[in-house]
Amino acid sequence: MKIAPIAGALAAVIAMTSMPARAQEAAPFARAVIFNADNAMQQYYGFVDLMASLENFKRTKQTEIDGKVTEYQDLQKQTQAKAASMTEATRQQALTDLQRRETEIRRLREDAEREASTRLSTALQEAQKVMEPALKAETESRQADLVIMQGPARDNILVYGDRLPDVTLAVAARLNAPCAANAGCRQQHANLPGMGN
């Protein structure tokens, strides 16, 4: 599943953790880890569920819109078939009804797109809220001072990092810990990190 890049505030908030003053003096180099927020989100059960819910919402709305389009097309065919025998008043009423239905279809599409966009934005915000503490905890457990963000949402400025640990899946496993504790959730998301696989 592809998702929109999760850039912005997440990258700004967790780009570097603070070091104690003594550690800054004693350590000439920062300990760094690599993190890809986009990949972590794709591995987080909560976000996977939210995206599935969003796709279900889109399908439901599309089915509703398709039904309205079919009704519109049927009415249009009926109007064309009876056009020769209609009075002017009846023809005007039929055209007004067609225009009303056309407007209704357009409004349904716009509302569905707006609602889908709002739901995606909310899902990203909710995921970000849980991502930050999980990344911080994983970074602290590795005693890292610097998080190098990677992924399509940001410029990859890492020139060499062969020995740098990538904490993406470890963070995803931390995020998935509540789901792993529940047998039903664990079974539903068995392919995600931290689910005992």
**CA–CA gap between residue 191 and residue 197 (Å, rounded):** 7
> How far, in whole angstroms, is CA 177 from its chain's centroid?
20
Which of these, 43, 41, 35, lies nearest to 4 by C-alpha position?
A: 41
C-beta neighbour count of 93 within 10 angstroms: 13
Judged by average pLDDT, the poorest of 65-69, 71-75, 128-132, 191-195 is 191-195
**pLDDT tens-digit readout, 5-34:** 443 433 433 443 444 444 444 445 668 888
* Average pLDDT of the residues of the chain: 79
User: Residue ranges of the domains in the chain?
Assistant: 9-188
Q: In sequence order, which residues have a C-beta less than 8 Å from that of residue 86 and are 6 or more positions away?
A: 79, 94
C-beta neighbour count of 1 within 10 angstroms: 9
Residue 53's pLDDT band, with cuts at 50, 70 and 90, is very high
Residues 180, 185, 191, 193: is their CA dihedral positive or negative? negative
**pLDDT tens-digit readout, 85-111:** 888 899 899 899 999 999 999 999 999
